[in-house]
């Protein structure tokens, strides 16, 4: 085991801003951003990786492993290093590798996987089992932690607003973030702390995602896509998927809240990430700005006066 270092920053406690410049620019009212970009490694993933690392350590593991396209890997490597664990990250060969250096700077060992993202999850899952590493892959035996970790986003929104917003828009890849936030609102509703649950919009890439595709085709049961049905780009990487590990949970949350799911193109993601930077000084990954693009498109259809929170899940790489 490596030596633990002390300066780990906790995740969460992220700000909720009312974005009045954006409201004026887009003719919206009561529009808010829950900004996950201020987490220690810049995305919401810190909420779950810190929990996995604590569990792995408590259970006596010396190594934690996962397949990743970048953001989750950087986050796990950061917490793992601070807790004195080793990290092994499987990075698919199709990945642009923009966060590899950062993962290495946190001491992670990177294994290039000659497959796509979904393939890298399978291979790293097998390696974890064979080597007795803690498996924090999406969809692994430990993945119930993920939904629990993201519930805190809902809890924070409720305490920051004093109530639940009418509409909530969230970027979707595996669907884990959306499903976890829904669980948080549902728990608060069931315990009488809020009197309604937001309508949830799932935003993903026109490059392909099973949650949006299933919703658009009115399927109640998630149908995954074929690998040849997706088109990966540098911008849509965090959202692209032909199998979404928590896609069924996310799809059900969208139906239960009378929400919807929207595809967003790379051009729109780039346009809206620039707009939010220019008007509000919020640096959002283009993939993350899909939540804004989808919310704008939905509000234009159902009424721009609705109170809406968008979850911006990552910052631009600085
Ligand atoms: C910055 C960012 N936003 C959103 C997502 C999508 O989250 P999920 O896979 O939980 O649906 C990811 C996934 O990697 C991400 O990195």
Asked if residue 222 has pLDDT above 60, the reply is: yes
CA-closest candidate to residue 313, choices 278, 280, 283: 283
The ranges assigned to domains in the chain are: 16-43+144-312, 45-135
List the 109-113 sheet strands across, edge first: 109-113, 86-92, 63-67, 134-135
Average pLDDT, the chain: 95
Crossing angle for the helix pair 45-58 and 144-161, to the nearest 10 degrees: 130
CATH 3.40.50.720 for domain 45-135: no
Residue 246 has pLDDT above 50, yes or no: yes
SS3 for 29? coil
Beta 31-35 vs 16-18: how paired, if at all? antiparallel
Q: How far is CA 286 from CA 13, 187, 192, 234, 236, in A?
A: 23, 31, 36, 10, 8
* Strands 31-35 vs 308-312: parallel, antiparallel or unpaired: parallel
* pLDDT, tens digit, 9 for 90 and up, residues 248-294: 999 999 999 999 999 999 999 999 999 999 999 999 999 999 999 99
Which residues are near ligand 1 (CB < 6 Å)?
43, 71-72, 171-177, 238-239, 285, 287-288, 313-314
Q: How far is the CA of 245 from the centre of ligand 1 (A)?
A: 12
State how far the Cα of 277 lies from the Cα of 262, in Å rounded to an integer: 22
3-class DSSP state for residue 81? helix
Q: How many CB atoms lie within 10 A of CB 301?
A: 8
Mean pLDDT for 147-156 is: 97
Residue nearest atom 3 of ligand 1, based on CA coordinates = 313
**Could you write out the DSSP letters of every residue in 245-301?**
TTHHHHHHHHHHTT-EEEEE-HHHHHHHHHHHHHHH-----TTTTHHHHHHHHHHHH
Domains 16-43+144-312 and 45-135 share a fold: yes
pLDDT at residue 317, as a whole number: 44
Ligand 1: residue of 34, 42, 43, 103 to mutate (most ligand atoms within 8 A of CB) is: 43
Alpha-carbon span 193 to 178, nearest angstrom: 20
The number of helix segments (H) and strand segments (E) in the chain equals: 11, 10
The pLDDT of residue 270: 98
Report the CATH architecture of 16-43+144-312: 3-Layer(aba) Sandwich (3.40)
Tens digit of each residue's pLDDT (9 = 90 or more) over 6-39: 578 999 999 999 999 999 999 999 999 999 999 9
Task: Please check the confidence at residue 318 and state whether its pLDDT lies above 50.
Answer: no
User: Which band of pLDDT confidence, cut at 50, 70 and 90, is reported for residue 315?
Assistant: confident
pLDDT band with cut points at 50, 70 and 90 for residue 176:
very high
Residue nearest to atom 13 of ligand 1 (CA): 238
The pLDDT of residue 245 is above 60: yes
pLDDT at residue 1 is higher than 70: no
Question: Which residue's C-alpha comes closest to atom 15 of ligand 1?
Answer: 238
Which of helix, strand or coil describes residue 91? strand
Q: Which residue's alpha carbon is at the smallest distance from atom 12 of ligand 1? A: 238
């Amino acid at each position: 085991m490596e030596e633990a270092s002390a300066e780990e920053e906790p995740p969460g406690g992220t700000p909720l801003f009312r974005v009045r410049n954006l409201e004026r620019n887009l003719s919206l009212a009561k529009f808010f951003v829950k900004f996950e970009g201020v987490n220690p490694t810049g995305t919401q993933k810190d909420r779950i990786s810190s929990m996995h690392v604590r569990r792995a350590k408590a259970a006596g593991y010396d190594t934690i492993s996962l397949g990743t396209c970048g953001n989750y890997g950087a986050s796990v490597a950061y917490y793992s290093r601070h807790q004195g664990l080793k990290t092994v990250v499987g990075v698919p060969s199709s990945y642009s590798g923009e966060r590899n250096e950062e993962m290495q700077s946190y001491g992670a060992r990177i294994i290039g996987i000659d497959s796509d993202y979904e393939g890298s999850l399978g291979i790293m899952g097998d390696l974890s089992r064979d080597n007795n590493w803690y498996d924090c892959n999406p969809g692994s035996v430990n993945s119930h932690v993920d939904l629990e970790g993201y519930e805190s986003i809902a809890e924070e929104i409720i305490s920051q607003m004093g109530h639940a917003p009418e509409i909530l828009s969230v970027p979707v890849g595996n669907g884990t973030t959306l499903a976890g936030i829904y669980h948080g609102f549902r728990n608060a509703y069931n315990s009488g702390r809020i009197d309604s649950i937001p309508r949830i919009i799932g935003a993903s890439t026109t490059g392909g995602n099973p949650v949006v595709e299933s919703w658009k085709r009115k399927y109640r049961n998630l149908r995954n896509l074929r690998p040849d049905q997706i088109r990966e780009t540098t911008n849509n990487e965090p959202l692209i998927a032909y199998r979404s590990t928590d896609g069924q949970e996310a799809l059900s949350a969208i139906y239960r809240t009378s929400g919807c799911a929207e595809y967003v193109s790379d051009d729109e993601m780039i346009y809206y990430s620039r707009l939010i930077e220019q008007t509000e000084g919020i640096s959002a990954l283009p993939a993350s700005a899909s939540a804004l693009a989808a919310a704008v498109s939905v509000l234009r259809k159902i009424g721009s006066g609705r109170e809406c929170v968008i979850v911006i899940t990552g910052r631009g790489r600085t």
